[in-house]
Structures are given as structure tokens and as C-alpha cells.
Amino acid sequence: MAPKKGASTKNNEESSSVLRELKGTIQSQAAEIDRLKKALSTTKAAPSGGHAHGGGSSDNILDYKTKSYLSIAYERVWWLAIFLWSLSFTALIMSGFEHTLSKQIELAYFVPLLAGHGGNTGGQAVGTVLSALSAGVITKKDAYRVVAKEAMSGLVMGLILGVFVGPICHYVMGISQHVSTVVSVTMPLLSTIAAFLGSSLPFICVILGLDPTVIAAPAMTSFVDVTGLLCYFLIANKIFQLFGMDL
């Protein structure tokens, strides 16, 4: 009978050891759960830290739900008025190149297309940079790297689109070869300018203490429209000269 008692005692000791290990595991897991809960509550309690990179936009975001439509309109209309005035330069550019347009009316067909493309390209850059700034993924220190990356991305996208747009204009739409070439060559330059402005303007707003959510997108659109249109007509004049056309 003694061996049986020894075996029973040994089994009891092993069971106690297993229970102690299990209890220790449960306690460590409970401590880890508590730690994760505290970390999660700390993250939720500090949303304004991420938005602080927006140069004053955090208060606007937090107060947005309680603001009236009149208050929102009053804050934005002044900036829109400034950018609307800046868009008047597009009329001056069109007037300055009126002689070119009168000789090559096909150029006018692609002004809305290029303006829309510039706005789309810059809008992507603005949205990406604002989201990254708001989330705290990037800061003002990353401005040079981010702007350079976005500008190079715009150049690549413009080259890809230009390769397809030119032939489509010429062979599908029946546009003359020289105007199709102008559109193809303008696309990479316009995309680069739009991506550069779209990524740099949020940083400029943050540095100046302005709200990039209100200013960056319309400022980008205005500047891209003016610079893009100017580049379009300057490129057209150069390419028409290469084709031996008298303007």
C-alpha cells in the first residue's frame, strides 16, 4: 500500500504545480488586458494631439458639429473670395494667347480637361497629406521628403497618362497631331506642379498657423489652374514652332 500512497502524493503535487502555473498564466493575461485597456483609453482620450499638426484645425474639427451653417460660411467665404479673384488671372492668360487660340481653336477643347486633371491630381495630394498630418504620421519636419515624393509621383502619373492621352486625341478624336502632342507634353508638367502644390500647401498653412482644411484645397486649385494654363499655352507655342507652323 505504501507505493500507492507515494504515487498519490506525487500526482497531487503535480496537480498543484499545474494549477499554480495556470493561475500565474491567468494573472499575467489579466495584467496584460488591463495594460491594453489603459493604452486604448489613453489613445482615445488624446485625439487632439494628432490634429494639433493641423495648425489650429483641431478646434474647428471638434466644434464642427455645433457650428451653424452661417458660421461655417462666414469662415470660408473670405478665402474663397481671395481665390476667386486669383482665378481672374486665367482670363488674362486666355486673353494674352487669344491670337494662338484663334489660329488653333482645338487648343480650347482641352482647357477644361487639363484644369480638371490638375485639380484631381492636386486634390489627391492634399487629401493624403492632410490625413497623414491629422493622424500624426508626418510632421512639419517631413515636409521636404513628402513634397519631393508627391512631386515625383505626379511626374510619373503624368508621363503614364500623357502616353495614352495623346494618341487617343489624335487617332480616336481626330485632333491634329500638333495639338495632341501639346496635350501629351503638358500632362507630365501639369501633374508635377499639381502634386507639388497639393502636398506643399498643407505644410505652408501649418507653418503659418492657418487652417489647412479650409485653405489648402482651394488654394491648390487656383494656383494649378493659373500655372497649368500658362504652361499649356507656352508649350503650345514651342511645339507649333517645331512643327513649322506660323503663329
pLDDT tens, 135-189? Answer: 889 999 999 999 999 999 999 999 999 999 999 999 999 999 999 999 999 999 9
| More confident site: 9 or 71 | 71
Looking at residue 38, its pLDDT comes to: 64
For residue 157, give every residue at least 6 positions away whose Cβ sits within 8 Å of its Cβ, in sequence order, or none. Answer: 121, 191, 195
pTM over 0.95: no
pLDDT tens, 72-126? Answer: 888 888 888 888 888 888 888 888 888 888 888 999 999 999 999 999 999 999 9
Percent of the chain residues past pLDDT 90, beyond the cut: 50
Residues 46-62 have a mean pLDDT of 48
| More confident site: 23 or 78 | 78
Decide: 53 and 205 in contact? Cβ < 8 Å: no
CA gyration radius for the chain? Answer: 31
What average pLDDT is seen over the chain?
Answer: 82
Decide: 101 and 108 in contact? Cβ < 8 Å: yes
Determine whether 110 is exposed, middle or buried from the number of CB atoms within 10 Å of its CB (0-12, 13-18, 19+): buried
Decide: 58 and 52 in contact? Cβ < 8 Å: yes
Looking at residue 170, its pLDDT comes to: 94
Looking at residue 49, its pLDDT comes to: 40
Looking at residue 243, its pLDDT comes to: 84
Residues 5-9 have a mean pLDDT of 55
Looking at residue 36, its pLDDT comes to: 62
